[in-house]
Amino acid sequence: MDTRSFIAKAYDANAFTTAQASAGYINPEIWNKEVLMALENNLVLANLGKKYDDLLMKEGDTLNITVGVTPASGSTVAESSAISVAAYSKTQVVFTPSERGLAYQLTNKEKDRSFINLMQDMTSELGYSLAVEKDTKCKAILYAGFGNSIISNGVVSSAIASSDTIDYDDIVNASTAIRQDHLIPKYLVVGDEQYGDLLKLAAFRDASQFNGEVAKTGFLGKVAGLEVYSTDAIIGSSNVIKAIVLGVDKKGVPSFGIAQKRNPYIETEYHALERYTDIVAVEDYDAKVLRANGICLISSYSAI
Protein backbone atom coordinates (compact mmCIF):
# COMPACT_ATOMS: atom_id res chain seq x y z
CA MET A 1 0.00 0.00 0.00
CA ASP A 2 1.49 3.36 -1.00
CA THR A 3 1.62 6.33 1.38
CA ARG A 4 -1.27 8.21 -0.21
CA SER A 5 -3.55 5.18 0.01
CA PHE A 6 -2.64 4.66 3.65
CA ILE A 7 -3.41 8.29 4.53
CA ALA A 8 -6.72 8.17 2.65
CA LYS A 9 -7.78 5.03 4.53
CA ALA A 10 -6.66 6.56 7.83
CA TYR A 11 -8.82 9.63 7.26
CA ASP A 12 -11.76 7.42 6.28
CA ALA A 13 -11.40 5.62 9.60
CA ASN A 14 -11.06 8.95 11.46
CA ALA A 15 -7.72 7.78 12.85
CA PHE A 16 -6.33 11.30 13.14
CA THR A 17 -9.31 12.79 14.97
CA THR A 18 -9.79 10.29 17.79
CA ALA A 19 -9.23 11.04 21.46
CA GLN A 20 -6.19 8.71 21.61
CA ALA A 21 -3.02 10.37 22.89
CA SER A 22 -1.10 9.39 19.77
CA ALA A 23 -3.64 10.82 17.33
CA GLY A 24 -5.92 13.28 19.12
CA TYR A 25 -4.39 16.47 17.78
CA ILE A 26 -7.33 17.93 15.91
CA ASN A 27 -11.08 17.92 16.21
CA PRO A 28 -12.13 21.10 14.42
CA GLU A 29 -15.90 20.64 14.71
CA ILE A 30 -15.85 20.51 18.50
CA TRP A 31 -13.25 23.26 18.76
CA ASN A 32 -15.16 25.62 16.50
CA LYS A 33 -18.28 25.05 18.60
CA GLU A 34 -16.27 25.86 21.72
CA VAL A 35 -14.91 29.13 20.36
CA LEU A 36 -18.34 30.19 19.09
CA MET A 37 -20.07 29.34 22.37
CA ALA A 38 -17.46 31.20 24.42
CA LEU A 39 -17.72 34.21 22.12
CA GLU A 40 -21.53 34.32 22.16
CA ASN A 41 -21.69 33.88 25.94
CA ASN A 42 -19.38 36.81 26.65
CA LEU A 43 -20.32 39.48 24.12
CA VAL A 44 -22.18 42.45 25.60
CA LEU A 45 -21.56 45.72 23.76
CA ALA A 46 -21.13 44.06 20.37
CA ASN A 47 -24.61 42.52 20.66
CA LEU A 48 -26.18 45.98 20.96
CA GLY A 49 -24.93 47.26 17.59
CA LYS A 50 -26.37 47.01 14.10
CA LYS A 51 -25.08 43.91 12.29
CA TYR A 52 -23.99 44.20 8.65
CA ASP A 53 -23.29 40.95 6.82
CA ASP A 54 -22.82 42.43 3.34
CA LEU A 55 -19.13 41.44 3.34
CA LEU A 56 -19.50 38.16 5.22
CA MET A 57 -17.56 35.52 3.25
CA LYS A 58 -17.85 37.68 0.12
CA GLU A 59 -15.51 39.72 -2.02
CA GLY A 60 -14.60 43.27 -1.04
CA ASP A 61 -12.57 44.90 1.71
CA THR A 62 -14.76 47.90 2.62
CA LEU A 63 -18.45 48.54 3.21
CA ASN A 64 -20.09 51.92 2.69
CA ILE A 65 -23.24 52.65 4.69
CA THR A 66 -25.55 55.61 4.14
CA VAL A 67 -26.97 57.06 7.35
CA GLY A 68 -29.76 59.65 7.45
CA VAL A 69 -29.74 62.72 9.67
CA THR A 70 -32.69 64.10 11.62
CA PRO A 71 -35.19 65.59 9.12
CA ALA A 72 -36.04 69.28 9.30
CA SER A 73 -39.36 70.24 10.89
CA GLY A 74 -42.27 71.41 8.80
CA SER A 75 -43.58 74.97 9.23
CA THR A 76 -46.78 76.93 8.78
CA VAL A 77 -47.31 78.22 5.22
CA ALA A 78 -49.51 81.17 4.33
CA GLU A 79 -52.05 80.74 1.54
CA SER A 80 -50.50 81.00 -1.94
CA SER A 81 -47.01 81.25 -0.43
CA ALA A 82 -44.22 79.00 -1.62
CA ILE A 83 -43.18 76.13 0.61
CA SER A 84 -39.53 76.23 1.57
CA VAL A 85 -37.32 73.46 0.26
CA ALA A 86 -35.40 71.55 2.92
CA ALA A 87 -32.03 69.93 2.36
CA TYR A 88 -32.16 66.14 2.02
CA SER A 89 -29.04 65.14 3.93
CA LYS A 90 -27.25 61.84 4.35
CA THR A 91 -23.90 60.87 5.76
CA GLN A 92 -21.59 58.01 4.85
CA VAL A 93 -19.91 55.54 7.17
CA VAL A 94 -17.11 53.34 5.84
CA PHE A 95 -16.30 50.00 7.48
CA THR A 96 -12.86 48.50 6.86
CA PRO A 97 -12.71 45.05 8.50
CA SER A 98 -9.44 43.72 9.86
CA GLU A 99 -8.43 40.44 11.47
CA ARG A 100 -8.18 40.06 15.22
CA GLY A 101 -6.91 36.91 16.81
CA LEU A 102 -5.00 35.06 19.48
CA ALA A 103 -3.15 31.75 19.64
CA TYR A 104 -2.00 29.10 22.09
CA GLN A 105 0.56 26.35 21.71
CA LEU A 106 0.23 22.93 23.30
CA THR A 107 2.97 20.33 23.49
CA ASN A 108 2.24 16.62 23.35
CA LYS A 109 3.79 16.25 26.79
CA GLU A 110 1.45 18.83 28.33
CA LYS A 111 -1.55 17.30 26.61
CA ASP A 112 -0.73 13.73 27.61
CA ARG A 113 -0.19 14.60 31.28
CA SER A 114 -3.15 16.89 31.81
CA PHE A 115 -6.23 15.60 33.65
CA ILE A 116 -8.45 18.00 31.67
CA ASN A 117 -8.99 18.42 27.95
CA LEU A 118 -6.45 21.18 27.39
CA MET A 119 -7.30 21.73 23.74
CA GLN A 120 -10.97 22.20 24.50
CA ASP A 121 -10.18 24.46 27.45
CA MET A 122 -7.73 26.56 25.39
CA THR A 123 -10.29 26.91 22.62
CA SER A 124 -12.93 28.14 25.07
CA GLU A 125 -10.46 30.70 26.41
CA LEU A 126 -9.65 31.84 22.88
CA GLY A 127 -13.36 32.42 22.29
CA TYR A 128 -13.54 34.49 25.47
CA SER A 129 -10.50 36.50 24.36
CA LEU A 130 -12.13 37.26 20.99
CA ALA A 131 -15.28 38.42 22.81
CA VAL A 132 -13.26 40.73 25.08
CA GLU A 133 -11.44 42.14 22.05
CA LYS A 134 -14.71 42.76 20.20
CA ASP A 135 -16.36 44.50 23.13
CA THR A 136 -13.18 46.51 23.73
CA LYS A 137 -13.18 47.60 20.09
CA CYS A 138 -16.83 48.68 20.39
CA LYS A 139 -16.08 50.57 23.60
CA ALA A 140 -13.17 52.37 21.93
CA ILE A 141 -15.23 53.65 19.00
CA LEU A 142 -18.06 54.72 21.34
CA TYR A 143 -15.64 56.54 23.65
CA ALA A 144 -14.12 58.30 20.64
CA GLY A 145 -17.34 59.07 18.76
CA PHE A 146 -19.90 60.07 21.42
CA GLY A 147 -22.12 63.08 20.82
CA ASN A 148 -23.37 63.68 24.39
CA SER A 149 -21.82 63.42 27.83
CA ILE A 150 -22.87 63.72 31.47
CA ILE A 151 -20.66 64.03 34.55
CA SER A 152 -21.98 62.73 37.84
CA ASN A 153 -23.32 65.47 40.12
CA GLY A 154 -22.69 68.03 37.38
CA VAL A 155 -19.06 68.64 38.35
CA VAL A 156 -16.28 69.27 35.85
CA SER A 157 -14.32 66.21 34.80
CA SER A 158 -11.16 67.32 36.59
CA ALA A 159 -13.07 67.66 39.88
CA ILE A 160 -14.66 64.18 40.06
CA ALA A 161 -14.38 63.00 43.67
CA SER A 162 -15.27 59.82 45.57
CA SER A 163 -18.77 61.19 46.24
CA ASP A 164 -19.48 61.53 42.51
CA THR A 165 -20.71 57.99 41.81
CA ILE A 166 -23.27 57.15 39.12
CA ASP A 167 -26.88 57.60 40.27
CA TYR A 168 -30.45 57.66 38.99
CA ASP A 169 -30.34 61.36 38.07
CA ASP A 170 -27.27 60.78 35.88
CA ILE A 171 -29.09 58.07 33.95
CA VAL A 172 -32.17 60.25 33.45
CA ASN A 173 -30.03 63.21 32.34
CA ALA A 174 -28.17 61.04 29.82
CA SER A 175 -31.45 59.70 28.43
CA THR A 176 -32.79 63.24 28.15
CA ALA A 177 -29.73 64.36 26.18
CA ILE A 178 -30.35 61.60 23.64
CA ARG A 179 -34.07 62.37 23.41
CA GLN A 180 -33.31 66.02 22.75
CA ASP A 181 -31.47 64.87 19.63
CA HIS A 182 -34.66 63.12 18.46
CA LEU A 183 -33.38 59.61 19.23
CA ILE A 184 -34.71 56.99 21.63
CA PRO A 185 -32.50 55.96 24.60
CA LYS A 186 -32.55 52.19 24.97
CA TYR A 187 -29.45 50.72 26.66
CA LEU A 188 -27.24 51.53 29.63
CA VAL A 189 -23.91 49.70 29.73
CA VAL A 190 -21.83 49.93 32.90
CA GLY A 191 -18.62 48.45 34.23
CA ASP A 192 -18.58 46.15 37.24
CA GLU A 193 -17.55 49.01 39.55
CA GLN A 194 -20.49 51.18 38.44
CA TYR A 195 -22.84 48.23 38.84
CA GLY A 196 -21.73 48.06 42.45
CA ASP A 197 -22.47 51.77 42.87
CA LEU A 198 -25.95 51.29 41.41
CA LEU A 199 -26.75 48.50 43.84
CA LYS A 200 -26.01 50.84 46.76
CA LEU A 201 -28.90 53.08 45.72
CA ALA A 202 -32.31 52.44 47.29
CA ALA A 203 -34.01 52.61 43.89
CA PHE A 204 -31.89 49.75 42.62
CA ARG A 205 -32.30 47.59 45.68
CA ASP A 206 -36.04 47.54 45.12
CA ALA A 207 -36.71 44.34 43.23
CA SER A 208 -39.69 45.93 41.51
CA GLN A 209 -37.36 48.41 39.80
CA PHE A 210 -34.22 46.36 39.36
CA ASN A 211 -34.03 42.57 39.38
CA GLY A 212 -30.36 42.29 40.37
CA GLU A 213 -29.84 39.04 38.46
CA VAL A 214 -27.00 38.85 35.97
CA ALA A 215 -27.63 36.73 32.88
CA LYS A 216 -24.79 35.26 30.85
CA THR A 217 -25.11 38.05 28.28
CA GLY A 218 -24.48 40.73 30.91
CA PHE A 219 -28.15 41.75 31.12
CA LEU A 220 -29.03 43.07 34.58
CA GLY A 221 -32.57 44.34 34.23
CA LYS A 222 -34.33 47.62 33.44
CA VAL A 223 -34.14 51.02 35.04
CA ALA A 224 -35.48 54.42 33.94
CA GLY A 225 -36.79 52.71 30.82
CA LEU A 226 -33.34 51.45 29.82
CA GLU A 227 -32.07 47.89 29.53
CA VAL A 228 -29.00 47.68 31.77
CA TYR A 229 -25.92 45.60 30.95
CA SER A 230 -22.49 45.18 32.51
CA THR A 231 -19.26 44.38 30.70
CA ASP A 232 -15.66 43.71 31.68
CA ALA A 233 -14.62 46.02 28.83
CA ILE A 234 -15.56 49.11 30.88
CA ILE A 235 -12.99 49.73 33.62
CA GLY A 236 -11.84 52.81 35.47
CA SER A 237 -8.73 54.84 34.74
CA SER A 238 -7.25 57.77 36.67
CA ASN A 239 -10.23 57.64 39.08
CA VAL A 240 -12.82 58.02 36.32
CA ILE A 241 -15.09 55.38 34.79
CA LYS A 242 -17.50 55.97 31.93
CA ALA A 243 -20.85 54.25 31.46
CA ILE A 244 -22.49 54.33 28.04
CA VAL A 245 -26.12 55.12 27.25
CA LEU A 246 -27.07 54.08 23.71
CA GLY A 247 -30.04 55.21 21.69
CA VAL A 248 -31.73 54.03 18.51
CA ASP A 249 -33.43 56.02 15.77
CA LYS A 250 -37.16 56.00 15.09
CA LYS A 251 -36.70 52.89 12.94
CA GLY A 252 -34.90 51.06 15.75
CA VAL A 253 -31.44 51.25 14.16
CA PRO A 254 -28.67 51.36 16.83
CA SER A 255 -26.13 54.16 17.08
CA PHE A 256 -23.18 51.99 16.05
CA GLY A 257 -22.66 49.04 13.76
CA ILE A 258 -20.40 46.07 13.09
CA ALA A 259 -19.50 44.87 9.61
CA GLN A 260 -18.51 41.20 9.71
CA LYS A 261 -16.07 39.96 7.07
CA ARG A 262 -15.54 36.51 8.56
CA ASN A 263 -17.01 34.85 11.63
CA PRO A 264 -14.65 33.55 14.34
CA TYR A 265 -12.91 30.31 13.47
CA ILE A 266 -10.16 28.00 14.70
CA GLU A 267 -7.13 26.81 12.76
CA THR A 268 -4.57 24.30 14.01
CA GLU A 269 -1.16 23.18 12.89
CA TYR A 270 0.84 20.29 14.29
CA HIS A 271 4.65 20.52 14.29
CA ALA A 272 5.96 16.97 14.22
CA LEU A 273 9.64 17.73 14.87
CA GLU A 274 8.92 19.86 17.94
CA ARG A 275 5.81 17.85 18.93
CA TYR A 276 3.46 20.72 19.63
CA THR A 277 0.23 22.09 18.16
CA ASP A 278 -0.64 25.71 17.28
CA ILE A 279 -4.27 26.61 18.11
CA VAL A 280 -5.22 29.88 16.41
CA ALA A 281 -8.50 31.80 16.77
CA VAL A 282 -9.30 34.57 14.26
CA GLU A 283 -12.20 36.94 13.55
CA ASP A 284 -12.46 39.60 10.82
CA TYR A 285 -14.71 42.69 11.32
CA ASP A 286 -14.91 46.44 11.89
CA ALA A 287 -17.07 48.62 14.16
CA LYS A 288 -18.11 52.22 13.50
CA VAL A 289 -20.34 54.89 15.04
CA LEU A 290 -23.48 55.56 12.99
CA ARG A 291 -25.10 58.33 15.06
CA ALA A 292 -22.89 60.23 17.50
CA ASN A 293 -25.84 61.90 19.24
CA GLY A 294 -27.24 58.49 20.09
CA ILE A 295 -24.26 57.91 22.41
CA CYS A 296 -24.02 59.56 25.83
CA LEU A 297 -21.17 58.88 28.27
CA ILE A 298 -21.72 59.11 32.02
CA SER A 299 -18.44 59.85 33.81
CA SER A 300 -18.29 58.98 37.51
CA TYR A 301 -15.76 58.21 40.23
CA SER A 302 -13.63 55.09 40.07
CA ALA A 303 -11.33 53.74 42.74
CA ILE A 304 -9.01 52.55 39.97
Give pLDDT, residue 22.
Answer: 44
More confident residue, 4 or 281: 281
Q: Is 84 part of a structural domain of the chain?
A: no
pLDDT above 80: residue 142: yes
Confidence of residue 150 (pLDDT cuts 50, 70, 90): very high
Q: What is the DSSP string of the chain?
A: --HHHHHHHHHHTTGGGSS-TTTTT--HHHHHHHHHHHHHHH-SGGGGSEEE-TTTTSS-S-EEEEEEPPPPPP----TTPPPPPPP--EEEEEE--EEEEEEEEEEHHHHHH-SS-HHHHHHHHHHHHHHHHHHHHHHHHHHHH-SEEEEGGG--GGG--TT----HHHHHHHHHHHHTTT-EEEEEEE-HHHHHHHHTSHHHHSTTT------TTSEEEEETTEEEEE-TT---BTTEEEEEEEEE-TT--BSEEEEEEEEEEEEEEEETTTTEEEEEEEEEEEEEES-GGGEEEEEEE---
CATH of the domain at 176: 3.90.1690
Distance separating alpha carbons of residues 70 and 65, to the nearest angstrom: 16
Alpha-carbon distance of 130 to 128, in angstroms, equals: 5
Q: Is residue 18 part of a domain?
A: no
Give per-residue pLDDT as tens, 208-263.
Answer: 455 555 444 678 888 888 999 999 899 999 999 999 999 999 899 999 999 999 99
Alpha-carbon span 139 to 142, nearest angstrom:
5
Residue 7 lies in a domain: no
Where in the sequence is the domain holding 105, given as residue range(s)? 30-55+97-304
Q: What is the pLDDT of residues 11-58, one digit of tens each?
A: 444 444 444 444 444 455 677 787 888 888 889 999 999 999 999 999
Q: Are 247 and 294 in contact (CB under 8 A)?
A: yes
- Model confidence at 6: pLDDT above 60: no
- Name the β-bridge partners of 64: 94
Return d(Cα 46, Cα 62) in angstroms, integer: 19
Span 63-109, pLDDT tens digits: 999 987 766 677 888 998 999 888 877 889 999 999 999 999 999 99
pLDDT at 15: 42
In 3D space, the residue among 232, 255, 257 whose CA is nearest the CA of residue 135 turns out to be: 232
Residue 10 pLDDT: 43
- Domain annotation covers residue 12: no
Q: What is the pLDDT of residue 50?
A: 97
Residue 2 covered by a domain: no
Contact assessment for residue 183 and residue 248, using Cβ atoms and an 8 Å cutoff:
yes
The answer to the question of residue 170 being in a domain is: yes
Query: pLDDT at position 277, please?
Result: 92
Q: Is residue 158 part of a domain?
A: yes
The count of structural domains within the chain is 1
Question: Is 221 inside any structural domain?
Answer: yes
